Amino acid sequence: MKIICVIPAYNEEKNIQGVIRNVLPFVNELVVVDDGSIDNTGKLANQEKATVLKHTVNRGQGAALRTGTQYAIRQDADIIVHFDADGQFLPSDINTTVAPILKGEADIVFGSRFMTNNNDLEKEKRMPILKKVFIMPLARMVNNLFFKVALTDPQSGFRVFSKKAAERINWHQDGMAHCSEILFASHQTGLPIKEVPITVIYNSFGQKFSGGLKILKDLFISKLIN
């Protein structure tokens, strides 16, 4: 069973080597997509046992994931993992997210920061109040209303696809709104989907409030166009 992990990275020179070294024991191949970084992200990734793909300009996380996923499909991966470069996800949770696919319970698995696990109290303390009471509930509402997909964590960057699912799922959003587009595309495949709890170690808490609003704006525009 060939598992390939795709990590989009933009200006992550402080984290990328540690993330690569910690993730490698859980996968067969690790692909870093250097999304036009202006620091040493690509150079440092090349020093590790990782395949490094490079965008000449910063195109966005959605575009980087698309590049890496297409590469993994060409390499005949059986399972493709999406994983962040900032060091906040636990590599050991790859086993947790891959397990439902290995057991034949699902073809698509999303890691949730908001399902019950031992880190819940810490998450509540660290999460900015505006994100907790506005951005995340609104993101869930948008996904439920427009995309007919109900998950506890619609903006999670930790997701896993079987080969069959990866070949059927396409997204066009280059920025952070790709998360909801991937959810919708996953639902459209008709393949079984499962959500599992993951643990997050917060160095910071993702995009700012203004970034969350931009994601919602992109989702509304995408829905109107399509």
- Tens digit of pLDDT for each residue in 110-130? 999 878 654 444 444 455 555
pLDDT at 146: 53
pLDDT at 120: 47
For the entire predicted model, the pTM comes to: 0.81
Q: pLDDT tier at 20 (50, 70, 90 boundaries)?
A: very high
The top-level CATH class assigned to 3-225 is alpha beta
pLDDT at 203: 64
Please check the confidence at residue 180 and state whether its pLDDT lies above 50: yes
pLDDT tens digit sequence for 130-162 = 555 555 565 555 555 555 566 788 778 999 999
Domain definitions of the chain by residue range: 3-225
pLDDT tens digit sequence for 26-69 = 999 999 999 999 999 999 999 999 999 999 999 999 999 999 99
- Kindly state the average pLDDT of the residues 164-186: 88
State the SS3 of the chain.
CCEEEEEEECCCCCCHHHHHHHHHHHCCEEEEEEECCCCCHHHHHHCCCCEEEEECCCCCHHHHHHHHHHHHHHCCCCEEEECCCCCCECCCHHHHHHHHHHCCCCCEEEEECCCCCCCHHHHHHHCCHHHHHHHHHHHHHHHHHHCCCCCCCCCCCCEEEEHHHHHHCCCCCCCCCHHHHHHHHHHHHCCCEEEEECCECCCCCCCCHHHHHHHHHHHHHHHHHC
What average pLDDT does the structure give for the chain?
83
